[in-house]
Copies of this chain bind each other. A is one copy, B any other.
Amino acid sequence: MNREIVERLRHLGILPSAQRVAVAKFVLQTTRHPCAEEVLAAVREEVPMISLATVYNTLHLFAEKGLLRELALSEGKVVFDPRMDPHHHLIDEDTGAILDLDWSALRVEHAAEAARAQGFEVSEYQVVLRGRRAARRPARSTAAPKGKRRAR
């Protein structure tokens, strides 16, 4: 498993140091959207003396080489997303968590045209949704209101 990560890095012209492999191993496999501090914490399990600066360097290097993407969606900090295929993002307004939505889950029309009308050539776009987890289904046992549930 390390083997294939090493190969992947080499293939992009990245020297596969222990630190880089550890970072790659963590970020490429997560489905979350970790920030640099979270990557640091996770990677320290394996490479205890790695520094924050190295984590930043490595993440930026990876982003530059197309191994992952930097996202500045929520305020304050940048997070990293290993999914490189186009997709959308849904932000939990309560927790700040970021979820992926498949590209095909919704449809955007006329994006390129709208930008062109402003004299721009679009290089990428995505829909950013914000919302909150819907109220938990009332459990049928106790305080569940009888009758059909109405959304909204």
Instruction: Report copies per complex.
Output: 2
Q: Which residue of B lies closest to A109 (CB)?
A: B107
Q: Mark A89-120, 1 if CB is under 8 A from B, else 0.
A: 01011000001010001111111011111111
How far is A114 from B103 in the complex, measured between Cα atoms in Å?
10
- Minimum Cβ distance to chain B for residue A81 (Å): 14
- Mostly helix, strand, loop or mixed at chain A's interface? strand
Q: A126-B127, A126-B128, A127-B126 are in contact. Are A111 and B121 (CB under 8 A)?
A: no
- Minimum Cβ distance to chain B for residue A104 (Å): 9
How far is A114 from B107 in the complex, measured between Cα atoms in Å?
10
Q: Are A115 and B93 in contact (CB under 8 A)?
A: no
